[in-house]
Every structure is written in structure tokens, then in C-alpha cells.
Amino acid sequence: MPTLPWTVPDTPPRDTEVHVFASRFETRSLWGALRFFLRTPRVWWQVSRAPGAYGASLRAQPLRRTFWTLSAWESPDALKTFAHSGPHAPTSRGLASQMRDVKFASWNANSDDLPVGWAEALRRLT
């Protein structure tokens, strides 16, 4: 799967603080990577309609069993609401046992600086 381009569900107001979130998931097996890969479209659909979502992208290297997400949100609460609802909630619970390594990073940025680059996200995840 190639990198899914930065998608903007809701255009943020100019010159405002946004909550940026990045994640890295490594599955225990290729079977786990396949399960992650197959469940991605439903969660991606949810992101594209989530209230307070200002942008999102996904990188995947399924044969290396590794996936990254990068998103920008109106607030940490908007991200939390997304994560605990829709397809994301049961998907994350269902894939938890498949994960070998998981990393998260979050920070604040200015809406005028969106989209956040992958280089910045990867730096913060290491």
C-alpha cells in the first residue's frame, strides 16, 4: 500500500493551534499485518468524516509489518472521541493482540503549518 495522501476532512481556521498525533504499529506476524491492512479502509472512512479532524495520512509497509499514522485534530478531545467510536474502537481492540511494538507521539502545531511532514512525525516517534 502506498502512502495515503494527506486528506482534509475539515478545513481548520487560520492561525490556530491544532493537536497533531502520530503513531507507529509493528505487528507480530504477516497475518497481523494483513488484518491491519484489511481493516484500514473502514477506519480511513471514519477519519474522513470525523468531527474535528483537520487532516490525516497513512504509511504502510505490510511486508515489513509496519504502519504509521499522522493526523491533526481540533483538540485532544476530538481525537479521543474518534478513537473511542465508530470502526476505530473495535478495530483497535481487535488488533491489540497482533501488535509487537506500538509508539505514539503528540504535539501542538499551528494550523497554517499543515500538513505536517512525515519527516517530523518520524523524528518524534523515535
Kindly report the CATH number assigned to the domain that includes residue 18: 3.30.70.100
pLDDT exceeds 90 at position 32: yes
Is residue 65 within 8 A of residue 106, CB to CB? The reply is no
Q: Are 18 and 66 in contact (CB under 8 A)?
A: no
Range of the domain at 95: 4-125
The residue type found at 14 is R
pLDDT of 1 reads 55
Q: Confidence class of residue 33 from pLDDT cuts 50, 70 and 90?
A: very high
Which stretches of the chain are assigned E, i.e. beta strand? 4-7, 17-27, 53-61, 66-73, 99-110
In the 8-state DSSP scheme, what is residue 13?
P
Whole-prediction pTM value?
A: 0.94
% of residues, the chain, pLDDT over 90: 97
58-100, pLDDT tens digit by residue?
Answer: 999 999 999 999 999 999 999 999 999 999 999 999 999 999 9
Residue 101 has pLDDT above 90, yes or no: yes
Average predicted confidence (pLDDT) for the chain: 96
Grid cell of 69 as nine digits: 499514522
Task: Burial-class residue 109 by CB neighbours within 10 Å (0-12, 13-18, 19+).
Answer: middle
Would you state the pLDDT for residue 117?
Answer: 95
Q: How many domains does the chain have?
A: 1
